[in-house]
Amino acid sequence: MERTIVFQSFRVENVPPAIDRCMQSVRDWAEGAGFDYRFYDDDFLRKVPAWLTEATDIVLLIADYARVMTALELHSQGYDRAIWMDADLAVHDFSKMVLPHNDGFGFSREWWLAKPDDQFKLQRRVNNCCCFFDRGDPFAPFYLQAMERRLHQRGKKITGLEFSTRPLTNMQKDLPIPLVQSVATLSPLAVHLILEGNKLAVEQQMKAYSGPNAAVHLAMSLTEKNADKLLDMAFAREWPFDGSF
């Protein structure tokens, strides 16, 4: 029987209420699905090799590396699949929260809503807010090696998305990546429009995210002010979490 574990990390002091709500939803989903669950505190970021923290202090990069490294550790402990979920991801429909079965690895699709030049624009991307790695699949070791090479190549010029959204999106253009279809990442602009009830303005993003969306990724560092209100809507399955997304 396949053993699956869901793992997350966050600090244990001064935790925003919205983060508590998000992580509880993930724990409940994992339990209902029959998966093990493991939480890591701040020590998660200290699990990485010394060369990484000596080369950069960008937390996003360290966390990106740590989640893949930890997935491989969990494989060595007997788990067949390790699923990472960001702490600001909330599962609001357990029945629709499904991941690809036989792809070996996968990352989350992203439609990022922005408004350059006074016109709404959707940017198609791939992110790692929800990702999974199966034991024996070669992608995770390759991914760690690619991160190391990228850091050595870029040095101090490296930026926070160069282990995640940027390379994954570029890779998707040439070599399709298995995508988790049930998570919707919302930009700050999208959150603002949803809270305004501006259905017309978010219609384009709603159509792009069509499918069995069961979870919302809040990009919490950008939208913390409105996170609780948005979660109220998601857990109550109000628009647009009523099946519109």
Residue 217 pairs in a beta bridge with 89, 185
pLDDT of residue 141: 98
Integer CA distances (angstroms), 33 to 95, 126, 146, in order: 9, 25, 32
Residue 241 lies in a domain: no
Element (H, E) at 94: none
The alpha-carbon radius of gyration of the chain (Å, integer) is 18
In a domain, 188, yes or no: yes
What is the Cα–Cα distance from 124 to 121, expressed in whole angstroms? 10
Q: Are the beta carbons of 8 and 26 closer than 8 angstroms?
A: yes
Residue 242 within any structural domain of the chain: no
Question: Is 30 among the domain residues?
Answer: yes
Range of the domain at 54: 4-235
> Tokens at residue 62, please?
């360290």
Question: What is the model's pLDDT at position 159?
Answer: 94
Question: Exposure string (b/e) for 1-22, b if CB count within 10 Å is 16 or more?
Answer: eebbbbbbbbeeeeeeebbebb
Is residue 244 in a domain?
A: no
Name beta bridge partners: 216.
90, 184
Write out the DSSP string of 137-184. Answer: -SHHHHHHHHHHHHHHHHGGG--TTTTTHHHHHHHHHHSPPPEE-SEE
- Report pLDDT for 101: 87
- Is 104 contained in some domain? yes
CATH number at residue 128: 3.90.550
Give the global pTM.
Answer: 0.95
Q: How many domains are contained in the chain?
A: 1
Residue 125 lies in a domain: yes
DSSP state of 209: T
One digit per residue, the tens of pLDDT, for the chain of length 245 reads 699 999 999 999 999 999 999 999 999 999 999 999 999 998 999 999 999 999 999 999 999 999 999 999 999 999 999 999 999 999 999 999 999 988 999 999 999 988 877 888 899 999 999 999 999 999 999 999 999 999 999 999 999 999 999 999 999 999 889 999 999 999 888 888 899 888 877 877 878 887 778 999 998 666 677 888 999 999 999 988 887 66
